[in-house]
Amino acid sequence: MATIYSKQYQDAYVDVPSNKIRAGDFNGQVQFAFFDLSVPAVAPSNADVVKLCKLPKGARVLDAVLVLPDLGDTTVLDLGWAASEELDSDGVAVEAADDDGLLAAIDGDVAADAFSMQALAEAGTIAAGLLKKFSAEVDIQITIDDAWTSTTTTDTIKGYIKFVLG
């Protein structure tokens, strides 16, 4: 019977000399990037983008939560990230954009609801961004697939990205 080791176990306990496990892979400090947005008086159009926050280079995503009011008929949103401004030696973004890398096809035309990467993962839907470690700073954003119709400016879209640095 073979024994197979994770990279971290191999580095710390098998390799001679051993290597320290990087911060963020063991005993990292969990951080949150919170955001909130008042629903604009003019509803956005399809393919519009709403910038929410930035994640720093080295952030490993543990969860993403999006809390929505009822945004009206046929609303569908994606939560993901823009391509990084940092480029590699070939002039290509270090981190490619992924519009729905955190939450995909979120239905915003129901009564107020909350959506979480962890809850969706438990239900069998794994987002590309779950446990992703970013090699460059990225903008976290909502992309509008089907525009909302609500313009109740007292309503708020809010949420957070839970991550560890390392």
Reported as a pLDDT band with limits 50, 70 and 90, residue 24 is low
Is 72 within a domain?
Answer: yes
- pLDDT score, position 111: 65
Q: What is residue 82's DSSP assignment?
A: P
Query: In sequence order, which residues have a C-beta less than 8 Å from that of residue 54 and are 6 or more positions away?
Result: 33, 137, 138, 139, 140
Q: Cβ of 48: how many Cβ atoms within 10 Å?
A: 12
Q: What are phi and psi of 91, to 5 degrees?
A: 80, 15
- The token duo for 101 is 């890398």
Is 3 within a domain?
Answer: no
Q: What is the mean pLDDT of residues 10-20?
A: 80
Is 48 within a domain?
Answer: yes
Residue-number span of the structural domain to which 119 is assigned:
28-165
The pTM for the full model equals: 0.86
CA distance 2 to 8: 18
Is 66 within a domain?
Answer: yes
- pLDDT score, position 153: 66
Is 108 within a domain?
Answer: yes
Is 4 within a domain?
Answer: no
Is 116 within a domain?
Answer: yes
Q: Cβ of 90: how many Cβ atoms within 10 Å?
A: 5
> Which domain CATH number covers 94?
2.60.120
Highest mean pLDDT among 8-17, 24-33, 43-52, 67-76: 43-52
- pLDDT score, position 49: 93
- pLDDT score, position 83: 98
| Residue the block writes with tokens 């962890």 | 118
What would the pLDDT profile of 107-144 be if each residue is shown by its tens digit? Answer: 887 766 899 999 988 888 899 999 999 999 999 999 99
| Percent with pLDDT over 70 in the chain | 96
Domain count along the chain: 1
- pLDDT score, position 8: 81
Is 45 within a domain?
Answer: yes
CA distance 143 to 147: 10
Mean pLDDT of the chain: 88
Reported as a pLDDT band with limits 50, 70 and 90, residue 7 is confident
- pLDDT score, position 108: 80
Q: Is pLDDT at 79 greater than 70 in this prediction?
A: yes
42 contacts 149 by C-beta, under 8 angstroms: no
| Percent with pLDDT over 90 in the chain | 51
